[in-house]
Amino acid sequence: MASFQIIVGSMLGNTEYIAEAAETVLQELGHTTAMHFQPEFSQIDKTKQTWLLCTSTHGAGDFPENLEKFIHDLQSYDQPLADLSFIVIGVGDSSYDTFCQAGKTLYNIMLEKKATPISPLFTIDMIEIDDPESEAEKFIRSISDQL
């Protein structure tokens, strides 16, 4: 089974609940997980891991404050992340023109770093979805054969 580093960017807490729901499914499927609510890039395992990156978007497409240093360190990292697979769950509000922009940006950063995507960016629209945790669970189950 795979080892997952779950990296969470959240301002209001909703994305934390979504990440926890995804973690529950991963554990049910037999994977090991480590949750990072205050992610420190240097302390997160980068070898033969799968990163599940869950982030909301704030302001004009910005990352949540708790993720800003992680993103800076990720972008500054001068080595390819070819040993990593990744999944990005973007959380946002489709009434804004920057809907899930932080998730989109993070997905592209991971591609630039040569990490391997397991799936396309998955977005959760907090305006349209009544139960975002359930959506995250369904999504993880839908890609379980690729994990």
The per-residue pLDDT for range 44-86, each reduced to its tens digit, is: 999 999 999 999 999 899 999 999 999 999 999 999 999 999 9
pLDDT tens track for 118-133: 999 999 999 999 999 9
> How much is the pLDDT for 98?
95
Give the class (CATH, top level) of 8-146: alpha beta
Using alpha carbons, list the distances in angstroms from residue 118 to 11, 51, 77, 129, 140.
26, 10, 22, 23, 11
**Domain layout of the chain by residue ranges:** 8-146
- In this prediction, residue 2 carries a pLDDT of 92
Q: Average pLDDT for residues 21-31, to the nearest whole number?
A: 98
**For residues 40 and 37, what is the distance between their CA atoms, to the nearest angstrom?**
9
Residue 110 scores a pLDDT above 90: yes
Question: What CA–CA distance (Å, rounded) separates 22 from 54?
Answer: 10
| This prediction's pTM | 0.96
Compute the average pLDDT of residues 19-42. 97
